[in-house]
Amino acid sequence: MNDMSKPAAVKMPIPFVDLQAQRRRLGDSVEEGMRRVLTHGQFVMGPEVGQLEKALSEFCGVPHVIACANGTDALNLAMRALGIGAGDAVIVPAFSFSASVEAVLLLGATPVFCDVQTDSCNIDIKSMAGAVAAAREAGLNPRAVMPVDLFGLPADYASLDTAAASHGLAIVADAAQSFGASRGNRQVGTFGHIAATSFFPSKPLGCYGDGGAVFTADAEAAALLRSLRQHGEGRDRYDTVRIGINSRLDSLQAAVLLAKLSIFAEEIELRQQVAERYSAALADVVEVPVIDRKARSVWAQYTIKVDNRDRVAAGLKAVGVPTAIYYPRSLNHQPAYRGYPTVAGGVPVAEALAQRVLSLPCHPYLDVATQDYIIDQLRAVIAAA
């Protein structure tokens, strides 16, 4: 199909994530928030940061939220607060973005790769146990596991809590893609000993630059995190009591997030509607995401599994449908990480997923006509492949 045969209601090019549509929905609220920052002039850690931390705490029901500069720092700070460092091992699923393992390595700790589940793409608990054994065989001290809530779906934290406790592991939840999701009656942010998220612009709740946050119910850990994000300060900025980092959130980004948080619940519902339409229309031709009844995804990505992925992606590109691959290579095959331990037997599921996953446009402002066009084109491409 060429541009002449597409429905008139479908506007080209189709954005993968439509931040401009979101901006129109927000009206002047983002600009008003930015103007307030420009007026008071506290551009780093201004009052908007504290307001955002309080709003995020109320949204997900966790007592302490510590905003920071980005999602990688959020993971790094979480592990610093747990005292993780050289000689320690952190179990990391091999199917994730590099930031998950990068945050471990920046502390001098060692990542040990485990496999993920075929259906959810989240951490495989049996493989995690094998990775603990691999860590000990390598002379490392297993300290933590980092489940990654891939594509917006929270991991099975009830099972993880039991398994991690049996191995003496803390849980650092990588919620970079899942903030706003839930499992049972609990929101993401309340899972694990400490959770971390990212506010990168393409995330379900994203700012207009980099940003992140750490979540914990532990008041002592929260106080430590606030010191660590600001150069290890004690009583004041010139009282340095520990080695910290510079990971403060800009006030402008906090203002953006406050505006977006006001419509976030509505956007989550809209994302759910898009995902449900996709799954109903595509389940007979591709492998659609599997969400168990106890969980609710925030749909950071709508990711299908297909054979002949490159041909399918090329076919969709030819008719104006953008796609993305998250992720084309498992972490244990990344050149920078090839020397680090992997669970005995390897990570075959992660390696297979890297060859088959394909993400479709998915955002709250994906109108029905455009979604139907994407569905029709994908079905046509699959039939011709």
Tell me what pLDDT residue 257 has: 98
Query: What confidence category does residue 5 fall into, taking pLDDT thresholds of 50, 70 and 90?
Result: low
Domains and CATH numbers, the chain: 3-19+263-384 (3.90.1150.10), 26-261 (3.40.640.10)
Query: What confidence category does residue 8 fall into, taking pLDDT thresholds of 50, 70 and 90?
Result: low
Q: How many CB atoms lie within 10 A of CB 2?
A: 8
Q: The dihedral of CA 187, 191, 193, 196: what is its sign?
A: negative
Identify the bridge partners of residue 171 per DSSP, sorted by sequence position: 145
The conformational region for residue 108 under phi > 0 = left, psi -120 to 50 = alpha, else beta, is left
Mean pLDDT value across residues 361-382? 98
Q: pLDDT above 90 covers what percent of the chain?
A: 97
Contacts of 299 (CB under 8 A, 6+ apart): 151, 152, 204, 271, 272, 274, 275, 362
Query: What confidence category does residue 3 fall into, taking pLDDT thresholds of 50, 70 and 90?
Result: very low
Tell me what pLDDT residue 385 has: 78
| Cα angle, residue 330 at apex, residues 280 and 173 outer, rounded to 5° | 75
Read off the pLDDT of residues 213-236 as tens digits, 9 standing for 90 and up: 999 999 999 999 999 999 999 999
Q: The dihedral of CA 282, 284, 287, 292: what is its sign?
A: positive
CA distance linking residue 65 with residue 225, whole number of Å = 10
DSSP state of 287: B
Read off the pLDDT of residues 266-321 as tens digits, 9 standing for 90 and up: 999 999 999 999 999 999 999 999 999 999 999 999 999 999 999 999 999 999 99
The dihedral formed by the CA atoms of 115, 155, 202 and 9, expressed in degrees to the nearest 10: 100
Tell me what pLDDT residue 28 has: 97
Tell me what pLDDT residue 1 has: 39
pLDDT of residue 4 exceeding 60, the answer is: no
pLDDT of residue 333 exceeding 80, the answer is: yes
Record the pTM: 0.96
pLDDT of residue 9 exceeding 90, the answer is: no
Is the peptide bond preceding residue 327 cis, with omega within 30 degrees of 0? yes
Mean pLDDT value across residues 57-73? 98
Read off the pLDDT of residues 87-119 as tens digits, 9 standing for 90 and up: 999 999 999 999 999 999 999 999 999 999 999
